Amino acid sequence: MENRFSPGRALSVDQVPQWDQETDVAIVGFGAAGSCAAIEALDAGMDVEVFEVASSHGGSAWWSGGEVYVGGNGGTSVQKEHGFEDQTDDFRTYLTMAGGPAADSERIELYAQNGVEHFEWLKSQGVTFKGTYLPGKWIEPTTDDTLIWSGNEKAWPFSAKAKPAPRGHTVQFKGWGGGKLLMDTLCEKAVALGANVHYSHRALCLVVDDSGAVRGLVVRGDGQEKFVKARKGVILAAGGFICNQDMVKRFVPEALACQQQVTGGNDDGAGIRMGISVGACTLNMQEFFATLPFFPPESLVKGIFINERGQRFINEDTYHGRVAHYVLRQPNGKVWLLVDNEIFGRPMLQPNIEIAAVGETWGEVEEQLGLEPGSLTTTVDEFNRHAAQEQDPYFHKAAEWLKPLTTPPFAALSYCAGDFEGHAFTLGGLATRPTGEVLNADGDAIPGLYAAGRTACGLPRWGEGYSSGLSLGDSTFFGRQAGMSAAKA
């Protein structure tokens, strides 16, 4: 019975036996994008039905750190209070660099102009931010502070083009996992405004008419299939596809190098597949967030990564996700982090990392790793010589992370393929206008269909340019856009 419907195959409206439910706006997924889309559609006076496959709200965002990447317009209230000026020009430049070769200038412009407003909007929905600033380099704060450096802002080449400012704004939550608080607040707000949420309801496929317009969807819940008519439109906010092994293999096989999936468990790509079924075009399906958090302790950032040729390949003070992408593409998957006794520490988030070599001289380390004589030592000598002058002419690591690696014993931590635990989620998705309309291959909007969050290809679309908080910032902001657009349809 269930095989009658599949996300990759749309149902013709002529084959709908009856409409079991009717609404203005139907939303698939009740996570960051879906909840914010619901709030805006409800604010515009729409009837909203939400279909969530899980038995509770929040999606993958519920499991996140609850951090939102915003800035510009001179700065948010928190940025300003702590003395960080953040002009829109710098925010735009940073986001453009972070978007990579296929950065979407229109989407970036909308976000750069309205990031501060969006932060205020989140607060007005009841999301609480303590307003404090936490210095240092964090994967995710364990305190309940607000403002952190969460991306590549202070690292070359970003720092050379855009004035750095911290832009990670984390909800007021002690310990890891502020996403719970963020999503509880947003989802409860949507419900309070009148969202009719159906949990444990799986969206099976979209319904289209002869003109190609989306008219509704088929869902399965309460043991039956239901045909849902959406007068204004359907919003796909069903997350990415990191849980779908078949899709990962087809579209983003390089992510298979990361064992850990960053997900609430339902990123099965059904939203993306439903979009494709009605002629939507996808973008950047090969891109993914990856990280192998090689710090804390922070001191490890002062180490240097080398490949099997003894070559460095990255400024180690860039965002850990950017470092990961460079590590993943080194020849034969061979990479080591070189440290001396002064900066050594066990990687707190990678407790199983092996020490591949230890020596009283770098020559011993080189020999133990089986590297070409002189390859590692030349690189370390050159690095040390420059670091002593607080310089890194080749990779432009910032001075605060430069220190000659001259205190024995010396060690090489293995980040060779298979030796670390990578974490990944997908960044590719449906092509959309910044306002949420899903686009076909000619770049025209498909009537009645909207998408946001990781179901769409949004601001975070390039693994090398990711910053913590970018996905939540994008999902909440562009979820709102999709909700407003559907309401206006």
What distance in Å separates the CA atoms of residue 453 and residue 475, rounded to the nearest whole number?
4
Choose which of 311, 368, 384, 406 interacts with its own copies (CB under 8 A): 311
According to CB under 8 A, which residues from 68 to 97 bind its own copies? none
**Which of these segments, 69-77, 132-140, 271-279, 361-369, binds its own copies (CB under 8 A)?**
271-279
Q: How far is the CB of 45 from its own copies (least distance, A)?
A: 31
Choose which of 101, 136, 223, 351 interacts with its own copies (CB under 8 A): 101
Q: How far is the CB of 302 from its own copies (least distance, A)?
A: 20
> Among candidates 447, 478, 448, which has minimal Cα distance to 461?
478
Helices 362-369 + 375-387 axis angle, to 10: 140
According to CB under 8 A, which residues from 108 to 167 bind its own copies? none
2 C-beta neighbours (distance < 10 Å), count: 9
Choose which of 21, 77, 88, 282 interacts with its own copies (CB under 8 A): 282
Token representation of residue 130: 């303590």
136 C-beta neighbours (distance < 10 Å), count: 9
> Among candidates 431, 407, 128, 462, which has minimal Cα distance to 281?
431
* 10 touches its own copies (CB under 8 A): yes
Which residue's CB is nearer to its own copies, number 36 or number 457? Answer: 457
**Residue 225, helix vs strand vs coil:** strand
| Tokens 């999902």 -> residue | 475
According to CB under 8 A, which residues from 158 to 217 bind its own copies? 210-212
Identity (one letter) of the amino acid at 404? P
Choose which of 62, 362, 395, 415 interacts with its own copies (CB under 8 A): 395
Token representation of residue 251: 């579209």
What distance in Å separates the CA atoms of residue 450 and residue 448, rounded to the nearest whole number?
7
Strand (E) or helix (H) holding 446 = strand 445-451
Which residue's CB is nearer to its own copies, number 174 or number 249? Answer: 249
What distance in Å separates the CA atoms of residue 29 and residue 44, rounded to the nearest whole number?
20
**Which of these segments, 118-126, 277-285, 288-296, 344-352, binds its own copies (CB under 8 A)?**
277-285
Q: How far is the CB of 442 from its own copies (least distance, A)?
A: 3
Identity (one letter) of the amino acid at 104? D
Q: How far is the CB of 189 from its own copies (least distance, A)?
A: 33
Choose which of 192, 348, 355, 441 interacts with its own copies (CB under 8 A): 441
Pairing of strands 423-426, 260-261: parallel
Binding site for its own copies (CB under 8 A): 6-10, 12, 14-15, 101-102, 210-212, 246, 249-251, 253-254, 269, 272-273, 276-286, 309, 311, 372, 374-375, 378, 382, 393-395, 431, 440-444
